Structure 1
Amino acid sequence: MAFPTTMKAAVLHASGGPEALTIEDRPVPVPQPGELLIRVAAFGLNRSELLTRQGHSPNIRFPRILGIEAVGTVAAAPGGALARGQKVATVMGGMGRVFDGSYAQYTCVPAHQVRSVRTDLPWEKLGALPEMLQTAWGALLRGLRLQRGSGC
């Protein structure tokens, strides 16, 4: 089963207000070995994307598709890292800043930052979790350096 060659995406051509995001037809990205193409089912809206849109991410190159997290299904995996159709989640790692992110029907990301998920949560709830969980995990394990048996 082939997927489309074009997709809808919210594209940012320059910093600005919400009107700076424009819905456009874009080519579906083609994954290279070590990457996965995800058919995006949902994504969260995050403060960092707001700040990037407003111009507070000085190294961003335009045009850019924002979005630092996504959930969906594997559309293509040239390296065979995950099976086509598998439910997955991804977060950060340059999404929406270094390379195009999740404000699109498809996103292409490094396979190492994608995790398979097994859940019955609806997409709209699952889509809000990756960055939120990453923030909590980082605060507890990196910020506070909690370890097993630390009394928490």
Structure 2
Amino acid sequence: MCAAIPDTMTAIEVRTPGGPEQLVATTRPVPKPEKGEVLVKIAGAGINRADTLQRQGKYPMPPGATDIPGLECSGTVVALGEGAARFKVGDEVCALLSGGGYAEYVNVPEPQCMVLPPKVDLVTAGGIPETFCTVWTNVFDRSRLKPGEVFMVQGGTSGIGYTAIQLAKAFGSPVLATAGSDDKCKACVDFGADRAINYKTEDFVAVGKEFTQGRGVDVILDMVGGEYIPRQLEVLAREGRLCFVALMGGTKVTADFGMIHRKHLTVTGSTLRSRPVEAKGEICRALEEKVWPLFAEGKCWPVVYKSFPLTEAAEAHRLMESSAHIGKIMLVP
């Protein structure tokens, strides 16, 4: 039986857009679940690059979303809103959020809650939903990666990066991954990459063509954009697909669109946060059905670099922005 639900909770808010020091602890009322929602007592919450953009005022919340940052969590269901019936009070879940993960409690639309992946503890599961949902919808839904096709991910030691390596490899694709140091390249190989590329000392276009004997790679998952775009168009094979989940290197660039025409390329991208509950629920059900068994088989596993107490969210953001981490950074209430 769950303990009594308090009236108030500790949460992290953005005092004003700016640096990590703008993340401050505050006291908020514990939310009450609305129709179709569950109230989750948070055990662990993953930090994502989008959280740092929200803190800077560069990633606005969708209408109706809480101003508390945090796009994923794990925890225990402690209350049910009207019509919520898939889970019961006391169930342990992990959840995809529109916001609210940097707190002790959060309301979640029930379709965005998932059972815990096999062999993953409750706290660690809080770092899984955002990255796995992002990779699944962009690599397998939008980019249609098929077994045997060569896959490249930019930034292989980020949360999205290691997730993409594991999933692409598990579903039968040779994998190339870029990283910014030899240690990070070794980590990419440990995650399952067939070839890691140190982008500071190697040209990923040349390596990609060499790896494929000149044919080019089939799918690229990119978080950089900017000057990477024309180079990625060059390394793609005929009928190749380039998919963006972030554009940290810039949104505007000069590129040869004739190459897209000649090589029959597809360039696409998407965001997850703004999608309707039904769409997010479909992604969550696909993960439970098709990806969670991979955890039981040892083909996927969570990678947590460091955990911080909830009230040290600013330090967690400083680590995120240093890019010194390999894997997920977590907040633990």
TM-score (norm. length: structure 1)? 0.83
Between 49-58 and 112-121, the greater mean CA deviation after superposition: 112-121
Between 50-59 and 110-119, the greater mean CA deviation after superposition: 110-119
Between 75-84 and 27-36, the greater mean CA deviation after superposition: 75-84
**Quick check: which one's helix share is greater?**
2
How big is the shift at 1:32?
Answer: 1.4
Between 3-12 and 113-122, the greater mean CA deviation after superposition: 113-122
Partner of 2:127: 128
Q: Distance in 1 between matches of 2:22 and 2:140?
A: 37
Deviations 1:47-68 (A, max 9, x none): 0001110111245689821000
Q: How does 1:29-44 map to 2 (within 5 A)?
A: 29-44=31-46
Amino acid at match of 1:20: Q
How big is the shift at 1:142?
Answer: 2.0
Of all paired residues, the percent bearing the same amino acid is 38
Q: Distance in 2 between matches of 1:9 and 1:125?
A: 20
Contact 2:74 2:94 in 1 (8 A): yes
Matching residue within 75, 91, 96 for 1:86: 91
3-state SS of 1:145 partner: coil
How big is the shift at 1:45?
Answer: 0.5
How big is the shift at 1:38?
Answer: 0.5
Matched, 1:71 2:74: yes
Deviations 1:118-146 (A, max 9, x none): 54423342221111211221232223224
How big is the shift at 1:75?
Answer: 1.0
Partner of 2:13: 11
Higher RCO, 1 or 2 (CA under 8 Å, sep at least 6)? 1
Partner of 2:166: none
Q: Which has the larger radius of gyration?
A: 2
3-state SS of 1:44 partner: strand
Between 128-137 and 139-148, the greater mean CA deviation after superposition: 139-148
Matched, 1:144 2:147: no
Amino acid at match of 2:38: L
Contact 1:14 1:63 in 2 (8 A): no
Q: Distance in 2 between matches of 1:146 and 1:63?
A: 34
- Listed as ranges, the gaps of 5+ residues in structure 1 are none
Partner of 1:117: 116
How big is the shift at 1:22?
Answer: 1.1
Amino acid at match of 1:74: V
Contact 1:13 1:64 in 2 (8 A): no
Contact 2:92 2:122 in 1 (8 A): no
Indicate how the Cα distance of structure 1 residues 60 and 115 shifts in structure 2: closer, same or farther if over 3 A, else same.
closer
Q: Distance in 1 between matches of 2:118 and 2:5?
A: 24
Aligned residues: 146
Q: Distance in 2 between matches of 1:85 and 1:145?
A: 37
3-state SS of 2:77 partner: strand
How big is the shift at 1:7?
Answer: 0.6
Contact 1:11 1:63 in 2 (8 A): no
